[in-house]
């Protein structure tokens, strides 16, 4: 198949999934054309069958704001016609599904199909804004195929947008050959962070309010009073200053490490013991899946698609949003019981291998494409 993929190319789970899917499809012999405003950050080296087409937004004095959605639609038309694409797969509905709809109306190649993958706040937050809602609903309904990354997100889409269209749940995935515990025997990083053998808790996100990173700090504050430990905060975003302020207020500056954006996430996860994800809203929780793949039990809130990922009392624990006492209790339960910790760690890895490995999920996308093309 000849597939065009559009996604947000910067840090973020939807861009990660889109890129990893494209890479895997290319390995399986499909021709993949990424269409976006920048090179997706996980597309780091040359892969046969993958092409990147940059969307340039023209500036003109009359345009006070860049017309990205239109520039994207124009590029989609150009690539669909010139490369004779079979389908366009857009990740994150706004504005990609709308640009794709527009492109489809204009292209000469009338066989072109569109599929949209819903990822999270495109449905649960931004898409619900009154100015966007009719456009998002229309664009989803006009897609030839729609997928959602969890059952939760599918239900939300149906109820919030009164959509009757078939939505195919295809969960996120991870490459378990890349995301696996690497040997930490000689790990200088762990020795540096925890020189006295302290336990390490970790959280990675884009530090938006929806992630409730301050809850991770409050959980850690309780834990470190009982078990010598450190907290690694990976990523950056609007709430980072507030988190640094809270860390100072709680006198935790020595034990909470802000690492900022990092590429070597596998090494960081492999050096850590527990993954914290106390989000207010999370349609899937790709960061938690990557941690589970590295054998980390997950302590999460019970929102969105997280309970579909983190099996409570098997590979982690889920708690009500904001219940930091319970999250701390669960964390301590695992950190003070080596046998239980080992079972949970193994369960986390096994669940990833059995349910969310790329070898299981990518064929689901291929089948989804086939179904659309046969329509």
Q: Which of 3, 4, 6, 14 binds ligand GMT (CB under 6 A)?
A: 14
Among 4, 5, 9, 17, the residue binding ligand GMT under the rule CB under 6 A is 17
How long, in residues, is the chain? Answer: 375
Distance CA 205, CA 258 (A): 12
**Of the candidates 255, 281, 331, 345, which one interacts with ligand GMT according to CB under 6 A?**
281
CA distance 226 to 247: 18
Q: Which stretch binds ligand GMT (CB under 6 A): 8-16, 23-31, 160-168, 262-270?
A: 8-16
DSSP string, 191-228: HHH-TT--EEEEEES---GGG-HHHHHHHHHHHHHHS-
Extract the tokens encoding 191.
Answer: 């020795």
- Is residue 132 within 8 A of residue 115, CB to CB? The reply is no
Q: Residue 209 CB, nearest distance to ligand GMT (Å)?
A: 11
Residue number, 285 or 316, with CB nearest to ligand GMT: 285
In whole angstroms, how close is the CB of 18 to ligand GMT at the nearest point?
9
The interface region with ligand GMT, picked from 101-109, 115-123, 190-198, 363-371 by CB under 6 A, is: 115-123
Distance of CA 328 to the CA centre of its chain: 25
Shortest gap between Cβ of 127 and ligand GMT (angstroms)? 10
CA angle centred on 103, ends 102 and 109, rounded to 5°: 135
Cα–Cα distance measured from residue 100 to residue 89, given in angstroms and rounded to the nearest whole number? 9
Subset of residues 144 to 183 that bind ligand GMT, contact rule: CB under 6 A? 149, 172
Q: What's the min distance (Å) between Cβ of 219 and ligand GMT?
A: 19
Residues 6+ apart with CB under 8 A from 72: 6, 35, 37, 55, 95, 96, 99
CB of 194 to ligand GMT, least distance (A): 28
Specify which residues 114 forms β-bridges with.
88
Taking residues 64 to 83 in sequence order and writing x for each that binds ligand GMT by CB under 6 A, - otherwise, the string is --------------------
**Residue with the closest Cβ to ligand GMT?**
120
Q: Which of 4, 22, 120, 278 binds ligand GMT (CB under 6 A)?
A: 120
Of residues 109, 121, 176, 371, which one binds ligand GMT by CB under 6 A? 121
Backbone φ and ψ for 207, nearest 5 degrees, come out as 50, 40
Sketch the per residue contact string, 198 through 237, with ligand GMT: x for CB under 6 A, - otherwise: ------------x---------------------------
356, 323 contact by CB (below 8 A): no
Show the tokens assigned to 154: 């599918």
Contact status: 282 vs ligand GMT (CB under 6 A)? yes
SS3 content of the chain, % helix, strand, coil (to 5): 45, 15, 40
Positions in the binding site for ligand GMT (CB under 6 A): 8, 12-15, 17, 119-122, 149, 172, 210, 281-286
């Amino acid at each position: 198949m000849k597939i065009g993929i559009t996604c947000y190319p910067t840090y973020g789970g939807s861009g990660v999934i889109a890129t990893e899917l494209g890479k895997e499809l290319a390995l399986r012999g499909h021709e993949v054309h990424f269409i976006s405003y920048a090179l997706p950050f996980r597309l780091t080296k040359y892969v046969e069958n993958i092409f990147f087409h940059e969307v340039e937004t023209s500036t003109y004095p009359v345009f006070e704001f860049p017309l990205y959605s239109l520039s994207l639609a124009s590029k989609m038309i150009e690539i669909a016609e010139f490369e004779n694409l079979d389908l366009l797969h857009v990740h994150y509905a706004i504005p990609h599904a709308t640009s794709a709809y527009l492109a489809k109306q204009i292209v000469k190649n009338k066989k072109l199909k569109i599929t949209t993958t819903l990822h999270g706040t495109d449905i649960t937050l931004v898409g619900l804004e009154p100015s966007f809602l009719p456009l998002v609903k229309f664009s989803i309904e006009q897609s030839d195929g729609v997928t959602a990354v969890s059952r939760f997100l599918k239900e939300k889409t149906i109820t919030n947008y009164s959509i009757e269209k078939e939505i195919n749940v295809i969960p996120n995935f991870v490459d378990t050959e890349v995301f696996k515990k690497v040997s930490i025997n000689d790990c200088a990083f762990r020795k540096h962070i925890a020189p006295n053998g302290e336990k390490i808790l970790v959280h990675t996100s884009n530090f938006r309010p929806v992630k409730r990173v301050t809850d991770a700090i409050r959980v850690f504050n309780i834990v470190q009073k009982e078990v010598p430990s450190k907290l690694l905060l990976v990523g950056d975003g609007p709430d980072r200053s507030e988190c640094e302020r809270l860390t100072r207020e709680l006198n935790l500056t020595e034990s909470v490490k802000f690492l900022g954006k990092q590429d070597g996430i596998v090494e960081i996860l492999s050096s850590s013991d527990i993954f914290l994800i106390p989000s207010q809203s999370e349609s899937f929780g790709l960061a938690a899946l990557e941690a589970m793949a590295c054998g980390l039990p997950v302590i999460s809130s019970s929102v969105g698609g997280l309970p579909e990922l983190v099996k409570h009392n098997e590979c982690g624990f889920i708690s009500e949003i904001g219940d930091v006492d319970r999250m701390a209790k669960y964390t301590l339960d695992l950190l003070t019981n080596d046998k239980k910790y080992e079972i949970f760690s193994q369960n986390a890895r096994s669940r990833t291998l059995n349910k969310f490995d790329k070898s299981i999920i990518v064929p689901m996308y291929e089948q989804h494409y086939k179904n659309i093309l046969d329509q």
